[in-house]
A and B are shown apart, each in its own frame.
Chain A
Amino acid sequence: MDSSDDNELARLMRAAIAGDERAYGEFLRRAACLVRGFARRKIVNGGIDPEDIVQETLLAIHLKRHTWREDAPVAPWLYAIARYKLIDAFRRRGRRMEIDIEAIAEPAAEPQAELAREWEINRALESLAPGQRSVVAAVSVDGRSISETASNLGMSETAVRVALHRGLAAIARRFGRG
C-alpha cells in the first residue's frame, strides 16, 4: 500500500461522502481486501474466521465514516478500526472459551456434533425485526435496488432507506454477540 493507493482510496471516500454510491462500493471492496489481508496475517491460531473480522470492520467503517478527516490518509484510520474489531473478537472468544471449559467440566455434558460454520453476520441478521430483516436481505442477498425493494414489499422508498439504515446499525451492534 503506497501513497498513490491511499490517494485513490481517499478520493473514492470523498466521492462516497458526497453521495456517489458506485465510488462507495468500490471503496468498500478495496477496504475489504486490505482488511482481509490484515486479518489473515494476525489470526494465526484459528478460532476466529478472518471474514467475520472483514464484515464487522466494514460495518464499523460505514457507521463511523464521519470520524475520518477528509485531509488525512485513509490507511491508518482503516487499520485502526480493523485492529479494534480484531481485539474485540479475541476478547469475546476468550470469554466464550472459558464458558466452553465450564460446560465440559459438567459431567452430564455430551459432545456436540460439529455444526456447519455459521457466519456471525447471519446470526445478527436473524435477530432483526422482520421488517428490517426483509429489507436488508432484499438489498444485500437478493441484490435488489431501493426502488425494487420498495415496490416488492409495498413500502415507500423512504421507509426502505430508514429500515436499511436501522437494520445495518442493529447488525453492527449485535455482531458476534448473538
Chain B
Amino acid sequence: METNELIKALAADTRPPPASLSTVWWGAAALAAAVAAAVFLATLAPRPDLAAAAGTLRFLFKFVVLLTLALGAFGALRILSRPEGDLRKTVPLLMASPILLVAAVTLELFTTPSESWPERLMGTSNVYCFLLVMAIGLGPLSIFLLAMRHGAPSRSGIAGAVAGLLAGGIAGTIYVLHCTDDSPLFVATWYTLAIAGLSGLGALAAQRLVRW
C-alpha cells in the first residue's frame, strides 16, 4: 500500500473523532473521586472528633497538602497525556505539595520538643494508614490508566507515575477524614509511602498498558 493510498483510506474514515481528552479527564476525575468516596464510606467511618479536629491547624494542613497534590497531579497528567506534553511545564504543578510538606515538617520540628518526635512520626495507625491509602487509591488508579489509553503520552512510564500521584492524592484527601494522626511528621512518612507505592505501580502498569 502506497502512502497516498493510505491517505485515501484515512480520509474516507469520516466517523467523528472520539470525545476530547479534556472531557475524558474531567469524567475520569469525577468517577475516581466517587469510587474512592464509596470505598471509604463502605469500609471506614469518619473520626469521631471530626468537627473538633476540622478547626485545628494540623488537620487543615493535612487536608490542604493532599488536595494540592491531587490538583497539581491532575494538571500534570492532562499535559503528559498529549504527545507533545512538556515535562518542564509539570514541575511547578507537582512541586507545590512537597514544598508545603517540607515547610510544615520544618515548622513542626521547631515548635515541638524532640522527645515527642518519634511518637508523632509513628502515630497510632501507621501501617494501617499506608495500606488503606493504597487500597482506596487502586480504583482511581485503574480509572486513570484507562483514561490514559484514550490519550497519547510520549512517556507512558512518567505519565503512569503521575497518575499514581493523582490517585494517591485523592485517596489521601478522603482518608484524612478517618485518620487521627495529625502531625506533619506522620503525613510526610506514611502518606508519602503509600502515594509513592501507587506512583510506582502506575509507572509499571502504564508502561505495559499504554501503547499507541
Contacts and interface: CB of A to CB of B under 8 A. Distances in A.
Contact of A19 (B4, B6, B12, B16): B16
Contact of B83 (A22, A62, A84, A121): A84
Contacts of A10: none
A64 B10 CA distance: 12
B16 A64 contact: no
Interface in B48-77: none
Nearest to A28: B7
A93 interface: no
Nearest to B15: A165
Contact of A81 (B7, B15, B152): B152
Interface in B82-124: 82-85
A159 B176 CA distance: 52
A80 B84 contact: yes
A155 interface: no
Nearest to A65: B17
B16 A168 contact: no
Contacts of A140: 1, 5-6, 8-9
A58 B1 CA distance: 13
Contacts of A65: 17
A60 B152 contact: yes
A55 B3 contact: yes
Interface stretch (A96-104, A109-117, A141-149): A141-149
B151 interface: yes
Contacts of A122: 1
B40 to A, nearest CB: 33
Interface stretch (B18-26, B126-134, B163-171, B183-191): B18-26
Contacts of B15: 161, 165
A139 B14 CA distance: 13
Contacts of B212: 60, 63-64
Contacts of B173: none
Contact of B6 (A21, A69, A121, A165): A121
A19 B14 contact: yes
Given A21-B14, A28-B11, A168-B10, A58 B3 contact: yes
Contact of A28 (B10, B14, B84): B10
A139 B9 contact: yes
A125 interface: yes
B5 to A, nearest CB: 4
A59 B1 contact: no
A136 interface: yes
Contacts of B154: 80, 83-84
A119 B1 CA distance: 8
A168 B83 contact: no
A64 B24 CA distance: 14
Nearest to B22: A69
Nearest to B8: A140
B84 A59 contact: no
Contact of A67 (B6, B10, B152): B152
A72 B53 CA distance: 46
Interface in A73-90: 76-77, 79-81, 83-84
A63 B149 CA distance: 12
A51 interface: yes
Interface of A: 17, 19, 21-22, 24-25, 28-29, 32, 51, 54-55, 58-60, 62-69, 72, 76-77, 79-81, 83-84, 119, 121-122, 125, 136, 139-141, 143, 145-146, 161, 164-165, 168
7 contacts: A32-B3, A32-B7, A80-B154, A83-B154, A121-B1, A140-B8, A164-B12
Given A28-B11, A80-B84, A119-B1, 8 more contacts: A19-B14, A24-B11, A28-B10, A64-B151, A64-B212, A67-B152, A140-B6, A164-B12
